[in-house]
Structure 1
Amino acid sequence: MSDGPGFAYLLLMLILPLSALAARRLPLGSMAKMALGWVAIFAVLILAVGNWERVAPAFRALGDTLGISDQSVSGDTVRIRKGEDGHFWANVVVNGVERRMLIDSGATTTAISTDTATAAGIDLDEDAFNTLIDTANGTISARRATGKTIDIGGIHARDIGVVVSPAFGDTNVIGMNFLSRLKSWRVEGNVLVLQPKGGLVSDSDALSPNSI
């Protein structure tokens, strides 16, 4: 880790169990084996934290396998569990950039923050007039653009219209212009179920069988 305070904190956490082992006055060989085990555990933690963007997909895949993930894929169906805040949040990949996005059937258009638009390389039409959008916090100004690819699990969509505004802060929203392309979407208890259409051709692009 390049973060000095963070590394010092992990080092302190390592010292505590090692000190406890020393206090137990175990045989030197046993204590050495246990100490090496703790060192290995913390080494893995340090590597995981420092490379979280690379290892996060593996953790999510493991969660899907164990059935404990907030988002799971079965065949071409995506299931998303309701969050503690009462909303459905999906792991979405926009132009190859992964973001946590709120699924909101009350939003007409998919909305993304300026940071997400920049990271995803979304071109904003600087010559276009700003669009006024009514939100829960009032009317805001936004620019229209296009997400070339928007993926949720095994559901793939191309050329989805989006609106971009700094007024969205860090929040990104999947709106009805995405949901309306699905074969169906519904809520079963605390789970949102998304099912794509098969073999649909949209915006002059042939999509894969699991595309919307």
Structure 2
Amino acid sequence: MNDDGASFAYLALMLVLPLSALIARRLPLGSMIKMALAWVAIFGVLIVLVGNWPRVAPMFQSAADTLGISDQAVSGGTVRIRMAEDGHFWASVAINGVQRRMLVDSGAATTAISARTAQAAGLDLAENSFPTIISTANGQISVQRATVAKLDLGAIHAVDLPVVVSPAFGDTDVIGMNFLSQLKSWRVENGFLILEPHTSFVP
């Protein structure tokens, strides 16, 4: 099934419940048609947004920054990340242009990328075809080494950043000390992680 067919199928499945509810209410035909069309429009917009999320996400991020409700805000070159409910700091990052939510972990020596993210970002795992064994909090795992051409975190830009890639990371991507150590400073203050770049990091 192509993407258009799949989208139509998802839309049809999601409409079953609200349309069934409309029929059960025994509304006049005209009112029922209007409400059905409204539901079709709502779900159609949602499908478009999800399918184009990498392009529309920055617009939502800008609106959240303006309203002061964003978990990540940029002031000049400084990036402030609010602590999440799980007690960790999650950064909105672009890896070779691919949007990801990454855990900031000062206990990780090297930035770690999931196999799925590596594929989406077009990382060349063949540049070092021999796997390496590294020690993690969950024991020793086999990883491949690669290089991210550009990693963007707000106004902070790192180029040619070494990373490790492994299916063992699941869907979690981690920013490690090899990124943090390039900053002018980083600190936790009043529930925010504050990242201060060197001027060379800021365009």
Range into which the TM-score falls when normalised by the shorter chain: 0.7 to 0.9
1:110 and 1:175 in contact (8 A); partners too:
yes
State the secondary structure of the residue aligned to 1:7: helix
| TM-score, L = length of structure 2 | 0.81
Whole-Å Cα distance in 2 between the matches of residues 59 and 164 of structure 1? 30
| Deviations 1:12-63 (CA, angstroms, capped at 9, x unpaired) | 465478679985x8xx8xx69x847666545433432343333222112211
2:92 — aligned with what? 91
Question: Take 1:65 and 1:169, find their aligned partners in 2: how far apart are those partners?
Answer: 34
Bigger RCO of structures 1 and 2 (CA < 8 A, at least 6 apart): 2
Partner residue in 2 for 1:7: 11
| 1:120-199 superposed matches below 5 A | 120-125=121-126, 129-199=130-200
Q: Is 2:110 the counterpart of 1:109?
A: yes
Q: Which amino acid aligns with 1:210?
A: V
How far 1:126 moved relative to its partner?
Answer: 5.4
Instruction: Tell me the TM-score normalized by structure 1.
Output: 0.78
**Residue 179 of structure 1: how far off its partner (Å):** 0.2
Instruction: Give ranges in structure 2 of 5+ residues lacking alignment.
Output: none
Q: Give the paired residue count.
A: 198
Q: State the distance in 2 between where 1:78 and 1:18 align.
A: 48
Over the aligned positions, Cα root-mean-square deviation in angstroms equals 2.9
Q: Which runs of 5+ in 1 are unaligned?
A: 200-208
Question: More helix per residue: 1 or 2?
Answer: 2
Whole-Å separation in 1 of the counterparts to 2:62 and 2:17: 28
- Answer whether contact 2:92 2:101 (CA < 8 A) is retained: yes
**Higher deviation after alignment, 11-20 or 90-99:** 11-20
Query: What's the counterpart of residue 203 of structure 1?
Result: none
Letter in 1 for 2:83: K
